[in-house]
Every structure is written in C-alpha cells, then in structure tokens.
Amino acid sequence: MRHTISVLNTGGLQSDTSFNCDEDVSVLHAMIHAGKGPIRHGCCGGACGVCKARIVSGDFYAFKPMSAVHVSEAEKKGGIVLLCCVQPRSDMRIARG
C-alpha cells in the first residue's frame, strides 16, 4: 500500500512538500527517490543519526533498530525517529527533528 508523506514547513522559506512512500520502503529512501524534503541523509542504515525527524502524525513501523546514541527513549516517546529506519503504515506528516 502506498501512503502520502507530508514534510511540514519548519518556518523557513521552503514550503510544505509531499511525496509517496510504499509500506515496504523506508520514508528516507522514498524522500531521496522523490528528490524532495529538507531532511538530510547520511548512512541510510540507522547509524549516523543525520536523518532524525519528528513524526507529527500518522502510523509507522520501525523495521530497523534506531541507535540509542541518536534517539533516546524520551525522544522516541516524543515522536522522534530516524527516517531510514521507519516505513509508513498510514499517511504521515513529518518535520525536522
């Protein structure tokens, strides 16, 4: 199933943007493939923490462990994830972590 991921404007000059993401693809991979989104990426494997972002709304599945060095338990409870480690399970809205 395919979902729409919206990246919220964080107050800069860039407008909101959106892209599609299948359930078997990481949100980061879909964003890179679509050439959209202001969120940076690095290792694409859950190790560097560069793709840290906040899930504002929507359901997701963490298919890879997220390094505790980059995402604490408190941050996880606040919706912070590594986008290379999550796949969508509904339409989602995300913002920079």
Residues that bind ligand FES (CB under 6 A): 28, 41-44, 46-51, 82, 84
91 close to 18: Cβ distance less than 8 angstroms: no
Region label for 27, one of left (φ > 0), alpha (ψ between -120 and 50) or beta (otherwise): alpha
CB of 22 to ligand FES, least distance (A): 18
Euclidean distance between CA atoms 42 and 8, whole angstroms: 21
* Closest CB to ligand FES among residues 5, 82: 82
Q: Which is nearer to ligand FES, 38 or 49 (CB)?
A: 49
Residue with tokens 């969508």: 88
Write down the least CB distance from residue 66 to ligand FES, Å: 8
Tokens standing for 75?
A: 């941050």
Nearer to ligand FES, 1 or 25 (CB): 25
> Least distance from C-beta 45 to ligand FES, angstroms?
6
